[in-house]
Amino acid sequence: MHWFTGLAVQSITSEDEGYCESIYLIGKKRAEPRKIFLVFDYLGSLKMSAKLSEPEEKKDDSPELNIKDLELSDGGEDDKPEQISKSKKKRNRQKKKKEQAAEAADQNGGADGGGDAATEKKPSPPQQQKQQKTPGGVKQTSPKPTIPIDELFPNKNYPVGQIMEHSKLKNQKLDQMQEKKMLEKLNEDTYQDIRRAAEAHRQTRTYIRDFIKPGMSMIQICEELEGTARKLINESGLNAGLAFPTGCSLNHVAAHYTPNAGDTTVIGVDDVCKIDFGTHVNGRIIDCAFTHTFNPKYDKLLEADRDWDQGGWHRRPLCDIGAAIQETMESYEVEIDGKTYQVKAIRNLNGHSIDQYRIHAGKTVPIVKGGEATMMEEGEVYAIETFGSTGRGHVHDDMETSHYMKNFFVGHVPLRQAKSKALLSVINQNFGTLAFCRRWLDRIGQSKYLLALKDLCEKGVIEAYPPLCDAKGCYTAQFEHTIMLRPTCKEVVSRGDDY
C-alpha cells in the first residue's frame, strides 16, 4: 500500500521518474464514476497530475476526495460496473454518516462562526472567533484564551487565511483548475494542521498584545505567551506545540533574543519589541511576528516595515521580491526624537522556506536587491519577514545565546561524554529538529547542561543562534507572516485582523 495524506492507493507501476495510478473517484452526488490519474515521484509524493474524465464539472462543485470514495482499477473499462456498485454502497454509507454529522452539528448550534470558512471561495481575513460559539458549541474564554483550538473547531473547519489569487491562473483551462482543486483536496489534512496552528497564533498574540505593559520582565511576558500558546495548540509531544522560542528582541536587537533564566530585563515604555513566536501541528509551522511599541513615535518605522507589496510573490524570482521590499521600505524617512532617519532594510536578514519540522528549509527570501533568481514553487510554504532599521541595516551576533536547534541533516555523531549523550536524547525527545531555548531545558527539569550543550554545538549536532544585533542605539522593526503556495491560490495563513 502506498500512503499519501490519508489516501490509500496501490502502486501499479514504478519507474525512476514516477509511476501512474489509475483510480476511480466517486463523487458523493454522482452516480457515474470519474477517473483520475495520480502521478507520484520516486519518493512517493504526489506530483502535479490529476485529471477528471468529465469536462463539464461545475466550478463550485469540486469533488470530495475520501479514502472510502476511492476504488482502485487497473484501467480496464470492464471493471466499471462492479466498481460502481461497490462504491455506491460505500457512498451511501458516507452519505448517511454525513447526514448524521450534519444533524449533530445543528444540535450543537449549527455551522455559525468559522464553520463555513473552509468552504468559502474567497474569505476575508479571518476574524477572531473568541467571542462566538464555534461549530462545536464551545466558547473561548476571555480575556485570557484557554480552550484549545481543536476543541473550538471539532469539525476541523479552522479559519482560512487571507486568499490571494495567482494572476497566472486566470487564464487557465477548466480542467487544469480541476486538477489543482483535486490536489488541494488531497492536501486538506496539511492545511487543517497549519490553520489550527495559525488560529492558536492569532488568539495568543491578540491576548498578549493586551497583556504586555511597560515594567514587565521579559521572562514574565514570555512565560505568559508560551503558557497561553501551549494551551491553545493543545500541546502534545512533538505532534503539536511551540515551534521555536519566543523572540522578544528589543530596540537594536533584531532577532533571536529570548531571556535566559536570571535575566532581569524589563520592557520600557520607549522600547521597540519584536514578538516572534511559532506554533505547529504535526510539524506544520506558523512563523509569524509583529513589533510591539507603547510610544507612537515609532509608528512610522512600523509602517515602513509593513508597507511592502504582498502580491506577486508566486512565480516571481525571489530576488525581485527582495528588491521590491527594499524599495518600499527605504522610501520611508522617519523622525524619532527630532532626528530623521532613512529606514534601511536589514540586508543580512531574510524570509525563508519552511518544511515539516524544519523552520529554515533552504530557500531564502531576501529583503534587499541582488539575491538569487530562484523561484518560489507550488506547494511550498514560506515565512515572509521584513526587518527595517534606523541603524546600519546589517546585523551581527552579540550577547548571550538563548536559541538552539538541532542540525536538520546531522547523521550519527559519536559522542564520548555521557552528559552530552543524555542531553542530546532529551533534545531529540522534546524538540526533535525544532528550535528551543535554555528556559525550555530548565522547565523540563534539566540543569547544569551548559557544558554538554557547548560540546554538542562544537560537534556540529546542535547549532547556536545568538541574538542578531544592529548598531547600539538604533531601532529595528519586524513583521512576518507564513504563506502557503497552494495550487489554486496563495494563502496568507497567519493573517489576522491585527496585521
Enumerate binding residues for Co ion (CB under 5 A): 287, 383
Query: Which residue lies nearer to Co ion by CB, 383 or 492?
Result: 383
Query: Which residue lies nearer to Co ion by CB, 250 or 383?
Result: 383
Three-state DSSP class for residue 375: strand
256 is in an annotated binding site: yes
**Terminus-to-terminus CA distance in the chain, angstroms?**
44
385 is in an annotated binding site: yes
Tell me the catalytic residues. 276, 287, 352, 360, 385, 480
Q: How far is the CB of 494 from Co ion (least distance, A)?
A: 11
Q: How far is the CB of 320 from Co ion (least distance, A)?
A: 20
Residue positions counted in the chain: 499
276 is in an annotated binding site: yes
Query: Which residue lies nearer to Co ion by CB, 155 or 310?
Result: 310
Q: How far is the CB of 256 from Co ion (least distance, A)?
A: 10
| Total Cβ atoms within 10 A of residue 197 | 32
Three-state DSSP class for residue 273: strand
Phi, psi of 102 (to 5 degrees): -65, -40
201 is in an annotated binding site: no
455 is in an annotated binding site: no
Query: Which residue lies nearer to Co ion by CB, 381 or 456?
Result: 381
Query: Which residue lies nearer to Co ion by CB, 341 or 436?
Result: 436
CA distance 407 to 405: 6
SS3 per-residue string spanning 178-204? HHHHHHHHHCHHHHHHHHHHHHHHHHH
| CA distances for 193 relative to 44, 48, 116, 286, angstroms | 21, 22, 17, 10
Q: How far is the CB of 200 from Co ion (least distance, A)?
A: 17
Beta bridge partners of 247: 276
Q: How far is the CB of 466 from Co ion (least distance, A)?
A: 16
Inter-axis angle of helices 188-211 and 174-186, nearest 10: 70
CA distance 84 to 80: 6
CA distance 16 to 40: 10
Q: How far is the CB of 479 from Co ion (least distance, A)?
A: 11
Inter-axis angle of helices 318-329 and 299-306, nearest 10: 160
CA distance 194 to 375: 23
DSSP 69-129: GEEE--S-GGGHHHHHHHHHHHHHHHHHHHHHHHHHHHHTT-S-GGGGGGG-SSPPSPPP-
Q: How far is the CB of 383 from Co ion (least distance, A)?
A: 4
Cβ pair 385, 396 in contact under 8 A: no
480 is in an annotated binding site: yes
Cβ pair 41, 47 in contact under 8 A: yes
CA angle 214–129–290, rounded 5-degree value? 35
Query: Which residue lies nearer to Co ion by CB, 353 or 420?
Result: 353
Query: Which residue lies nearer to Co ion by CB, 314 or 352?
Result: 352
For the annotated binding site for substrate, the residues are: 256, 360
For the annotated binding site, the residues are: 256, 276, 287, 352, 360, 385, 480
For the annotated binding site for a divalent metal cation, the residues are: 276, 287, 352, 385, 480
